[in-house]
Every structure is written in structure tokens, then in C-alpha cells.
């Protein structure tokens, strides 16, 4: 099956390449002025800028929240409602990024509840998984990823609205990157697990992104893996030329 490539830019807690609305506007204008790539593209600004970026961004740039909660509303200070996002026209969210797991202590149980709620309201989810450096070095990558995958699979009813982002934690923001061989091997193992535990149809159709210090220098080689269907980009997404260059590596594969 031919899967449509998808690239996301996770801006994290950055207003473009700075901390002001002006720097955010500069990035959005630069993205708007870039040629439209052949792949699907989403961007994840900080929550307080989602609506303004949605209003300013060109139509082929989908807006994606960095997080949601598992309830529509209530006494949940600091959380973000999927229902409110959907009402604003924002139909995508990340769930389970390693920074949510490691810094904020989010568990597979909580992340599963968030995925289930996103499914209930019809929101597209980019579900993140990945291992730490010591786990990779001990040969336990899939021992770590399987429980994370199970938390996803146990809560998904519509796989067409799900993307999986494999992000080895040791490669996020460190300058270290999985080799193309390591990335492809793990993506293939993830797809095999889905085939054996969900269905071969879902395994063939689901898109699996790679994330972890992806940049415009290594993306072409990483994209050569047959099970790598796109990227979730961190720091390089804060510079329009580098981000659009990463998106452009899939132009020839979709012609």
C-alpha cells in the first residue's frame, strides 16, 4: 500500500524562533511564502497561539495542538479541551510526547484516556512513542515501545485518524539521530507489532513518523526507509527554509 507522507513541526514552547508574537508572525509568513510540498503538513504552535496561527497560515498547513485533556471541560486548571479546539477548527493533536511523559509524569493510562477521548470527538491524533538511551543500548527498544503501543491500540476505534510518531528520546534535541538503519528497523518492528496485534490492514495503512533531531541534512537519507512515512520535527521546524526542505524530501515519492 502507498501511504501518503506526513511531516509535522512541533514548535514546543517557542514563538517561532523567539518568545514574541513578532517572531511567530515572521515564521508563519515565511512558511506561507514557501512552495506547497507534496506531503501532508501540520504545525504545532504553543496553545495560546493556535487560533492566531490558524487564521494566518496558508490552507495546506494544518494546525495541531501539542496536548489535550481527557475531558471536555471542568475544574482542570491549565489543561486544553479537544472540544474547544475542534470548535475553533483545529482537528489534530499530539498525544504522549516524551516531554509530557518525562517532565510532567504522564502515564500510559492517562495517555490512553486522552486517545480514547480524541477518538470520541473525532480528533486526529499523532501518538508518540520511544525509548531512552540506556534502553536502546540494552537492546530493550521494543520492550519499552510495546506497552506504549498497547496503550494506543487499546483505545483506538478509528485507525484512519491516527499517526504514530516514533521518537527515540535520546535523539530529541540532543543532536544525536538514529541511523537510517536503526530508524527503519524500529519502524518495521512497530508495523509488525501492529500487524500481529491489530490487523495487517491497519499495519499496511498507518503512517509512522520518525522524530529525533531531524534536519535538512539527514532527512533525505532517513526518508529512504520503506516504513518511514514522514517526520515529527522539533528545532528545525522553527526555521522555515529547513522545515520546508525536510517536507520537500517527499516530493519525488508522491509524484
Catalytic residues: 97, 167
CB 31 within 8 A of CB 43: yes
Which of 162, 135, 157 is closest to 147 using CA atoms? 135
Tell me how far apart the alpha carbons of residues 58 and 202 are, in angstroms, rounded to a whole number: 31
CA angle 213, 81, 239 (to 5 degrees): 25
Task: Supply the DSSP symbol for 74.
Answer: S
Sign of the torsion formed by the C-alpha atoms of 46, 178, 168 and 142: positive
CA distance 26 to 54: 14
Amino acid at each position: 500500500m502507498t501511504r501518503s507522507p506526513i511531516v509535522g513541526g512541533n514548535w514546543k514552547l517557542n514563538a517561532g524562533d523567539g518568545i514574541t508574537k513578532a517572531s511567530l508572525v515572521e515564521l508563519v509568513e515565511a512558511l506561507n511564502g514557501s512552495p506547497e510540498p507534496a506531503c501532508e503538513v501540520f504545525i504545532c504552535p504553543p496553545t495560546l497561539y493556535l487560533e492566531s496561527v490558524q487564521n494566518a497560515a496558508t490552507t495546506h498547513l494544518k494546525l495541531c495542538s501539542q496536548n489535550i485533556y481527557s475531558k471536555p471541560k471542568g475544574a482542570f486548571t491549565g489543561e486544553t479541551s479537544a472540544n474547544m479546539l475542534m470548535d475553533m477548527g483545529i482537528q489534530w493533536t499530539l498525544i504522549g510526547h516524551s516531554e509530557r511523559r518525562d517532565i510532567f509524569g504522564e502515564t500510559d493510562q492517562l495517555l490512553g484516556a486522552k486517545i480514547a477521548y480524541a477518538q470520541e470527538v473525532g480528533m486526529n491524533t499523532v501518538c508518540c512513542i520511544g525509548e531512552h538511551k540506556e534502553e536502546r543500548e540494552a537492546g530493550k527498544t521494543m520492550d519499552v515501545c510495546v506497552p506504549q503501543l498497547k496503550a494506543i491500540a487499546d483505545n483506538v476505534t478509528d485507525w484512519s485518524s491516527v499517526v504514530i510518531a516514533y521518537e527515540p528520546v535520546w535523539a530529541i534535541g540532543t543532536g544525536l539521530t538514529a541511523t537510517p538503519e536503526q530508524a527503519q528497523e524500529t519502524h518495521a518492528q512497530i508495523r509488525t507489532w501492529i500487524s500481529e496485534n491489530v490487523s495487517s490492514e491497519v499495519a499496511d495503512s498507518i503512517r509512522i513518523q520518525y522524530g529525533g533531531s531531524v534536519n535538512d541534512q539527514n532527512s533525505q537519507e532517513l526518508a529512504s526507509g520503506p516504513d518511514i512515512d514522514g517526520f515529527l520535527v522539533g528545532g528545525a521546524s522553527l526555521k522555515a527554509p529547513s522545515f520546508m526542505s525536510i517536507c520537500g524530501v517527499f516530493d519525488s515519492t508522491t509524484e
